[in-house]
């Protein structure tokens, strides 16, 4: 905190604590003296009453300010919860449709869920991260690579992460570690194997999409301005990744039963 801010803070403290106490303390003697004085009694009485009113008014103002601050915080939290709910509700609705579809239609529906997921996350991130981009990748095994399933935001659709290339191997290694990554400023710290892309981002988030049985892909968020993404954006990305894990698992072919030929 700079000295000017400190002085301003001290000034507010004096105004809100010392001044009311001094005004209240001075008000009593002035009103008492006015009741005994033969002359100028009106002036003393008015001064005493004025100081008493000032003391009360400042204390009331403090209470109103505090109550408004608490109310504003509560309203902001309510607004935030409503915003998140409204953004993610379409994704949840699409997920709820998957059990009623046959396997082939679930595979087609997966891309619809993915597009709704990136749109939801982008709507929550873009107000404070200008020109943000959100992607959902799907893991393929033949050949081993991650390809985009859904995309929204600036620039062209993202390229694949192919095994056997420095960029692809680094991304796949991260994926199989099943841990989230957040780099607020790539100028200060960057992941191993990062060589930059034509997308021109300076901050990014990557969250693997996985279940207990397998890894499915990942959710990424990036933006061209360092520091524009926040830890809160990481948490939102993790929620979206969790929802996508349900979608991927629902769209996968069931594993053969061990008792199929019994």
What pLDDT digit, counting tens, does each position of 242-255 carry? Answer: 999 999 999 987 65
* Token pair listed for 109: 């529906």
Mean pLDDT of successive 10-residue stretches along the chain, which has 262 residues: 45 45 49 48 50 52 59 70 86 90 91 96 94 95 93 87 90 90 88 60 93 92 94 93 93 60 43
**What is 101-251's CATH number, 3.30.450.40, 2.40.40.20, 1.10.1450.10, 3.40.950.10?**
3.30.450.40
Candidates 192, 251, 249, 201; CA nearest to 221 is 201
Radius of gyration of the chain (CA): 31
Burial label for 116, CB within 10 Å (0-12, 13-18, 19+), is buried
SS3 184: coil
Token pair for 215: 């890894």
Q: What integer pLDDT is reported at residue 260 of this predicted model?
A: 41
**pLDDT score, position 78:** 72
Residue 117's closest CA among 149, 77, 83, 145? 149
In angstroms, the CA 153 to CA 198 distance is 14
Q: Where are the domains of the chain?
A: 3-74, 101-251
pLDDT at position 73? 67
Distance CA 149, CA 214 (A): 17
Q: Are 234 and 182 in contact (CB under 8 A)?
A: yes
Distance CA 120, CA 152 (A): 10
Looking at the DSSP assignment, which residues form a beta bridge with residue 133?
153, 222
Q: What per-residue string of b and e applies to 138-175 under the rule 16 or more CB within 10 Å gives b? A: bbeeeeebbebbbbbbeeeebebbbbeeebbbbbbebb
Place of tokens 């809100």: 16
Identify the pLDDT of residue 64: 55
Q: What is the pTM of this model?
A: 0.69
Calculate the alpha carbon distances from 130 to 122, 210, 222, 229, 240 in Å.
10, 29, 10, 10, 20
Residue 192's pLDDT is what?
A: 66
3-state secondary structure of 189: coil
Kindly give the residue spans of alpha helices, DSSP state H, lying in the chain: 3-13, 19-36, 41-97, 103-125, 166-177, 231-251
């Amino acid at each position: 905190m700079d000295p000017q801010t400190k002085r301003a803070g001290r000034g507010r403290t004096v105004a809100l604590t010392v001044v009311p106490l001094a005004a209240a303390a001075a008000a009593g003697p002035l009103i008492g003296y006015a009741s005994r004085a033969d002359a100028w009694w009106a002036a003393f009485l008015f001064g005493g009453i004025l100081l008493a009113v000032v003391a009360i008014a400042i204390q009331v103002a403090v209470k109103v300010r505090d109550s408004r601050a608490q109310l504003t915080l509560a309203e902001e939290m309510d607004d935030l919860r409503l915003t998140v709910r409204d953004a993610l509700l379409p994704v949840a609705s699409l997920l709820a449709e998957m059990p009623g579809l046959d396997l082939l239609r679930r595979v087609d529906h997966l891309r619809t869920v993915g597009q709704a997921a990136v749109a939801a996350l982008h709507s929550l991130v873009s107000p404070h991260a200008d020109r943000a981009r959100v992607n959902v990748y799907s893991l393929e095994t033949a050949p081993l690579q991650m390809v985009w399933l859904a995309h929204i935001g600036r620039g062209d659709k993202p390229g694949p992460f192919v095994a056997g290339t420095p960029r692809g191997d680094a991304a796949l290694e991260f994926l199989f570690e099943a841990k989230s990554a957040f780099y607020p400023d790539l100028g200060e710290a960057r992941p191993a194997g990062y060589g930059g892309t034509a997308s021109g981002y300076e901050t990014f988030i990557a969250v693997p999409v996985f279940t207990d049985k397998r890894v499915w892909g990942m959710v990424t968020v990036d933006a061209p301005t360092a520091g524009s993404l926040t830890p809160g954006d990481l948490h939102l990305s993790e929620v979206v990744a969790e929802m996508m894990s349900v979608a991927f698992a629902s769209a996968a072919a069931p594993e053969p039963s061990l008792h199929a030929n019994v």
